[in-house]
Structures are given as C-alpha cells and as structure tokens.
Amino acid sequence: MPSQTSHAAQQPILYSFRRCPYAMRARLGLLLGKQQVQLREIILKYKPQAMLDASPKGTVPVLILNSGEVIDESLDIMLWSLQQHDPDNLLLAGTPKQELAQALIATNDNQFKPWLDKYKYADRHPEHDESYYRQQGESFIAQLESLLRKQDNLLGSSASIADFAIFPFIRQFAHVDRNWFFAADYPNVQRWLTAHINSEIFTQAMQKYPQWLDDPSVITFG
C-alpha cells in the first residue's frame, strides 16, 4: 500500500506511468521481490527533468538505486528485484525452464510487441488494416494457447517470471478489441489473462497514485 515515509532518502526512486505495460511489469517485479521504492507517477508528455537526467531516453520505467545506478529497462528491474528476494524461485534459477522463460519474454518483447503497437495504432500504419496487424500478433497468442492447454501458467502450475513479464502486454492486446478477443478461440489464454488481471498483486500494482510534481508528498510503493 502507498504511504508517506520518513525513510524516503533510503529508498530507490521509481519513475512510472500507470497504464504503460512496461511500467506495470516493473511494478509487478518490485512487488514480487518485496522491494519498497519511492514512487513518482508521471505524465509522459510532461517528463520531469530529474528523470531525463537519469535516463535521457525518456521512457518509463526508470529505477534509480541508492547507489546512483540507473535501471531503465522493465525486465532488468524485475530481475534486480527478484535477485534480492525470490523465495518461490520465480526466476526458475537452476532449472531447464529458465531459458524457456527468457525465450518467451524475448519473443514477447521483440516480435509480439511491435505488432501489438501497430494493431493498437493501426491508423498510424495505413499500409495494412487493423485485422492484418492483429493476425500477426495472433501467432504469439497461439503459442501461449498451446502452452496453457497443458497447465495453468505458461511454464507450469505456478506462475513464473514469464507470466508476470508477459501478461501486461496480452492485456493490452485484448483491450484493443475486447469483444473480438474474448470471442476468439483462445480459451486458455483468456482464462490465464483473466486470472492474472483479477489477482491481488495486479490490483495492488494498478492502484492510482497522485502525479509526481517537483515537490510532492513522498509515496512509498511496495
């Protein structure tokens, strides 16, 4: 739960934007690893200079550790958090599934996400219509459907880093056209996605926070 804290100087700082799936991924990772941070919820069209000074590329999430180290990739934030605290081995360390998780996440980030962006913003990419972009994205949805026919989560009965790193992007895909998505022949992806969206940890990750300005009250997340 968010709270004001007198220990803000001891906490890493997270720049976030609630609706960004990359920022969702980072917040989930911090919650899973039980890491508390000072949350700075921003508006993307008004990026604070302090964030740009830390990460000139200007995208969220950005995590600034107490050491001054900057982590500005969402998956790296998840990995950092779970490397501090991972009693359930969500990282799948020391198992053959670790490489499978990494491969699934890479497919999501490098192949599925570009098609998702074109599907969501098809009017900006008039060389094809929306249905074409959706069909390209469906190849990954079909891959997940095949995995989920066998088990509750992508790599087993329990969720792993693969599930938490991927489902915010499937949520975004589903929300482009909810009627189409939930009528499509992907019952296991629909079940899996609904379960994660309704989970307590995602509810916590998606709480609304006041926008961070130059002199806000300190909000602790995690």
CATH of the domain at 206: 3.40.30.10
Q: State residue 174's pLDDT score.
A: 98
- 160 plus 110 within the same structural domain: yes
- 188 plus 112 within the same structural domain: yes
Mean pLDDT of the region 82-88:
97
Would you say residue 184 lies in a domain?
yes
pTM score over 0.85: yes
Would you say residue 2 lies in a domain?
no
Mean pLDDT of the region 36-57:
93
Would you say residue 3 lies in a domain?
no
Would you say residue 138 lies in a domain?
yes
Provide the 3-class DSSP secondary structure of residue 2: coil
The residue type found at 210 is P
Q: Using CA atoms, how far apart are residues 4 and 21, in angstroms rounded to an integer?
A: 26
Question: Any idea what DSSP says for residue 93?
Answer: T
List the one residue out of 134, 17, 135, 34 whose CA is nearest residue 81: 34
- 69 plus 135 within the same structural domain: no
Would you say residue 1 lies in a domain?
no
Would you say residue 213 lies in a domain?
yes
Would you say residue 212 lies in a domain?
yes
- 128 plus 165 within the same structural domain: yes
Number of domains in the chain: 2
CB distance 81 to 92 below 8 Å:
no
- 163 plus 194 within the same structural domain: yes
The confidence band for 213, taking pLDDT boundaries of 50, 70 and 90, is: confident
- What is the domain-level CATH number for residue 121? 1.20.1050.10
Mean pLDDT of the region 151-169:
98
- 82 plus 24 within the same structural domain: yes
Q: Using CA atoms, how far apart are residues 207 and 202, in angstroms rounded to an integer?
A: 9
The confidence band for 4, taking pLDDT boundaries of 50, 70 and 90, is: very low
- 61 plus 20 within the same structural domain: yes
- 35 plus 63 within the same structural domain: yes
Residue with tokens 């490098």: 110
The confidence band for 3, taking pLDDT boundaries of 50, 70 and 90, is: very low
Mean pLDDT of the region 15-20:
96
- 13 plus 65 within the same structural domain: yes
Q: State residue 215's pLDDT score.
A: 56
Domain span at 159 = 97-199
- 163 plus 208 within the same structural domain: no
- 125 plus 186 within the same structural domain: yes
Mean pLDDT of the region 96-116:
98
- 102 plus 163 within the same structural domain: yes
